[in-house]
Amino acid sequence: MEKIVFAKDITLYKADCLEVMPFLPESSIDLVLCDPPFGITASQWDKIIPFPEMWKEIRRVRKENAPTVLFGSEPFSSFLRCGNLDEFKYDWVWEKSKASNFLLAKKQPLKAHELISVFGKGRTPYYPIMEEGEPYGNRTKRGSNWTGINNVPNPTFRHENKGTRYPRSVIYFKTAESEGKTIHVNQKPIALLEYLIKTYTKEGDTVLDFASGSMSTAIACIYTNRKCICIEKDETHFSLGEKRVRNEYQYLEAQEKYDYTIQITVK
C-alpha cells in the first residue's frame, strides 16, 4: 500500500478500498463521493465492489448524517439502491453534453445521461446552489369565506422572487473531455464534482472517494477548499491520477496560490 499526502489536505492511497477503509478513523468523513465500478466491462478495474462490505465501511467512516453520493448506470444503479433502500433518498440525473452507445444507435436511444444516487441517515446536509431565472411577483388572498379575527378583511400576500431558482433533479454538465485530455474512460468533469461537493459540504470538510480513478475528486476538493481522501487500486490509474494532482499543485504554486509539501509512505 502506498500513501501520498499533499499539503496535509489531499491523501492518496494505492490499494484496495476494502483494505484501506477499515483503518480510517470512525465518523471522520463529511461526504462520500464516488464513481464505483459498474461491472459492465471485462477490465480488472471494473469489478463491482461487494456491496455488504462496502456499505459496512461507508457507515463506519462517515459522520452520522453525512451523505453518500454515488454515480451509476442501469442496471447497476438499481442493484445499488436495492442494496440499501433504508438509506436511499433520491437520484440526480446528469444530462451529458456528449452521448454514448453509438454502436447501438439503431437498436436503442443514444445514452446521454448518468444517474447520481444519494444515500444517508436522517436529515443529511444540503446546501442548494441556486440557479438564475427571470424575476417574478404575485399577489394572493385567503379564501373568500375567511375574514379573520373580528371580521378583518381578507389580507393580501405578496410574493417576490428576484430571479433565483432551486436546483432541479436534472442537471446539465459538459463531459470531462471538454476540460482537456482525459486519462480514464469514466472520468467525471471537475465542474460537476465541484457542484456536488459544494451542495453537500462546507469548506474544510473531508470528502472520501474510494474508487478514485483519475483523481478528479481530489482536484475538485483543492479548488473548493475541502480535504480529500482518494483510494485507487489500479497501478496505472493511480500513477496517472497522482501525477495529475501533483501537476495541479505545481500550477497553483507557480501562480503563488499554494505552497505545498509532499509526504510519501510505502507499506
Q: How does pLDDT run across 29-80, given as a tens digit for each residue?
A: 999 999 998 766 556 666 788 999 999 999 999 999 999 999 998 888 999 9
The pLDDT value given to residue 56: 97
Distance, in Å, from the CA atom of 161 to the CA atom of 113, rounded to the nearest integer, reads 31
Confidence label for 87 from pLDDT (cuts 50, 70 and 90) = very high
Domain ranges of the chain: 2-126+166-266
Neighbours of 120 (CB within 10 A): 21
Could you please state the CATH topology (level 3) that the domain comprising 2-126+166-266 is classified under.
Rossmann fold (3.40.50)
Res 260 pLDDT > 80:
no
pLDDT confidence of residue 99: 84
pTM, to two decimals: 0.86
User: Is it the case that residue 135 has pLDDT exceeding 60?
Assistant: yes
Q: Mean pLDDT over residues 172-190, rounded?
A: 84
- Indicate if the pLDDT at residue 266 is higher than 80: no
Q: Are strands 262-266 and 2-6 parallel, antiparallel or unpaired?
A: antiparallel
How far is C-alpha 193 from the geometric centre of its chain's CA atoms? 5
> Using CA atoms, how far apart are residues 50 and 43, in angstroms rounded to an integer?
16
Q: Is 140 exposed, middle or buried (CB count within 10 Å of its CB: 0-12, 13-18, 19+)?
A: exposed
What does each C-alpha distance from 148 to 33, 128, 141, 155 come to in angstroms? 51, 36, 12, 9
Mean predicted lDDT score pLDDT of the chain: 87
Distance CA 255, CA 258 (A): 8
Q: How far is CA 60 from the centre of its chain?
A: 19
- Given a contact cutoff of 8 angstroms between Cβ atoms, the answer to whether 258 and 225 are in contact is no
Place of cell 459540504: 201
In the chain, the percentage of residues whose pLDDT exceeds 70 is: 84
